[in-house]
Amino acid sequence: MTYYHLFGPVPSRRLGVSLGVDLIPFKTCSYNCVYCECGPTTRLTVERREYVPTDEVIGELRAYLATSPSLDYLTFAGSGEPTLHTRIGEVIGMIKDEFPAYRVAVLTNGSLLTDPEVRHALLRADLVVPTLTSVSEEGFRKIHRAHPSITPGGVVDGIVRFREEYAGSLWLEVFIVPGVNDSDEEVVRIARTVERIRPDKVQLNTLDRPGAVVWVRPVAKERLRDIAAVIRTAPVEIIADLPSRETVGSFHLETSEFILSMIRRRPCTLDDLARITGLHRNEVGKYIQYLLEEGLIEEKIEERGIFFRPRHRGNTPVSNRSAR
């Protein structure tokens, strides 16, 4: 069976072995984040619709889960903001009714949690991970370039409301962009907002793969640790400290080697590699991240985008390198 709305499973830093469920066409979102690994948003919208046929998604999930795959999570994420899909709640409900052994996670930018219908749709998920970056108007606009109807105060209020109504796990992703939301004042404001939201955990994140714009760089790990120390009202996990390659069956060494061989032949963009391999961009991104961390490839910014090229001349296969 060909799966159009599922991708992976991918080894995820945050969620272990995760099967992606993509309900949104590329790249439809209420935000156009400067750090987005999917690249620039082409449809900036807050309109909720049945963007892909729900029956098709449910059919694919039934077929896939009938094989009893070993997964840590089924994760709603992918080519845009998953809560823009009007029937996300039904898909989550089907999984929980028919395959209750599987845990469901929703990665959301949180911007639509102001809508009671969206909050209701996510109630049966086991884990919801909204994003928080900046509560100042300027920082928020600069990072998210959001739909004009969205305000940082509204987003925070929506997440707070959701926390009150939702009994599952809520992890807050705090994404740090150097020069925008890493000042002491911004960090104190973020810490106060964390206190208001009361998440079960904060995941402190920074860029680890090329984003939508070239000026965004990762934050130094030491600074992330300083920021973590300021957030005292919830446990903080620094994502950059977690291994990207879990010891999981879903990490295919052959795929890594194939991608590396393509890059050795000629420098490629993420889109080139997704086209060549037939994999979802998010999935290719995980392998790229691994190859970057292993020092096997490097990125170079060109006019057409970010290209990956081999770092070492020679032919050290991926399999001869140490697995972490």
> For binding to ligand SF4 (CB under 6 A), which residues are involved?
29, 31-33, 36, 38, 41, 80-81, 109
Separation CA 195–CA 211 (nearest Å): 29
| Residue among 41 and 181 whose Cβ is closer to ligand SF4 | 41
Cβ–Cβ contacts within 10 Å for residue 178, how many? 16
| Residue among 87 and 281 whose Cβ is closer to ligand SF4 | 281
Question: Smallest distance from the beta carbon of 130 to ligand SF4, in angstroms?
Answer: 10
3-state secondary structure of 219: coil
Cα angle 205, 224, 281; round to 5: 25
| Residue among 65 and 216 whose Cβ is closer to ligand SF4 | 216
Question: Smallest distance from the beta carbon of 107 to ligand SF4, in angstroms?
Answer: 8
Q: How many whole angstroms from its chain centre is CA 199?
A: 18
Return the closest-CA partner of residue 284 out of 262, 312, 301. Answer: 262
Question: Smallest distance from the beta carbon of 77 to ligand SF4, in angstroms?
Answer: 8
Question: Smallest distance from the beta carbon of 80 to ligand SF4, in angstroms?
Answer: 5
Cβ–Cβ contacts within 10 Å for residue 92, how many? 22
φ, ψ for residue 207, nearest 5 deg: -65, 130
What radius of gyration do the chain's Cα atoms show? 19
Question: Smallest distance from the beta carbon of 253 to ligand SF4, in angstroms?
Answer: 28
Question: Smallest distance from the beta carbon of 37 to ligand SF4, in angstroms?
Answer: 7
Return the closest-CA partner of residue 70 out of 251, 218, 239, 291. Answer: 251
Return the closest-CA partner of residue 14 out of 202, 279, 225. Answer: 202
Question: Smallest distance from the beta carbon of 108 to ligand SF4, in angstroms?
Answer: 8
Separation CA 124–CA 156 (nearest Å): 21
CB 71 within 8 A of CB 126: no
| Residue among 41 and 256 whose Cβ is closer to ligand SF4 | 41
Separation CA 269–CA 277 (nearest Å): 12
| Residue among 29 and 318 whose Cβ is closer to ligand SF4 | 29
